[in-house]
Amino acid sequence: MKFFLDTANLDELKRGAAWGILDGVTTNPTLIAREGRPIEEQIRLICDIVDGDISAEVMALDAAAMVKEGRVLAAIHKNVVVKCPLTRDGIEATSILSKEGIRVNVTLCFSPAQALLAAKAGAHYISPFVGRLDDVGSDGMDLVRTIVAIYQNYGFGTQVLAASLRSPTHVVESALAGADVATMPLKVMEMLFEHPLTDKGLDQFLKDWAKVFNPAPKSR
Ligand code: G3P
């Protein structure tokens, strides 16, 4: 399973990259806008930090303009994956870009039917939004499981990129479901490390070692 960070923040990406477990990055217009730089510039800076797939989203709404924008984004770096929304125009643009050899991540997927359309259009990734479905009372992880099953039935090459993950449980359930990628905020990646017994065990090891090899000076 690949781990992506869902952020455009360079400090967060440097921290995640240092652990050596980072396979790529997803961004969206909200995340890019938060950093205040033009998208081309921000994506270029991200490509300098992370050697893996970097999703950059088009802002246009009609297919022709999405294709134009997608070509510009793809030309930034060989690792850029163009993100298109799951609309009629987005699927049309995905078909065109994919035929040109430009990889597309189809985003804002909330149903298995939508995921089928993305696969048929030749998308490289499909991004089901788990947390946002949970937010409206649906079972987001069920969507990931269903898409994985459907894609396996037909051998679609589109990779399932579980997105809008909000907790370590989401990440583990995505892995159990067979998602190819989990993208998460740095906060969630940090949480994957945590276990109180790890901290407790390490503390005890250090104390036991110090008792023998570095005892506290005896008072007179
Ligand atoms: O990758 C999609 C992600 O950015 C959406 O996450 O938490 O805003 O639903 P969230």
What is the domain partition of the chain in residue ranges?
2-194
| Token pair recorded at residue 125 | 């990734």
The answer on pLDDT for 96 being more than 80 is yes
The answer to whether residue 83 is catalytic is yes
Alpha carbon distance 143, 19 (integer Å): 30
25 alpha carbon to ligand 1 midpoint, in Å? 12
- Classify the C-alpha dihedral 37-102-145-194 as positive or negative: negative
8 A C-beta contact, residue 98 and residue 123: yes
pLDDT at residue 25, rounded to an integer:
98
H or E segment to which residue 108 belongs: strand 104-109
pLDDT at residue 215, rounded to an integer:
77
Lookup result for tokens 């030749």: 122
8 A C-beta contact, residue 76 and residue 103: no
Closest-CA residue to 82 (of 106, 117, 63, 112): 106
Q: CB of 57 closer than 6 A to ligand 1?
A: no
Q: What is the DSSP string of 52-78?
A: SEEEEE----SHHHHHHHHHHHHTT-T
Phi, psi at residue 45, to the nearest 5°?
Answer: -65, -40
List the CATH code of the domain at 2-194. 3.20.20.70
124 alpha carbon to ligand 1 midpoint, in Å? 19
pLDDT, tens digit (0-9, with 9 covering 90-100), for 109-130: 999 999 999 999 999 999 999 9
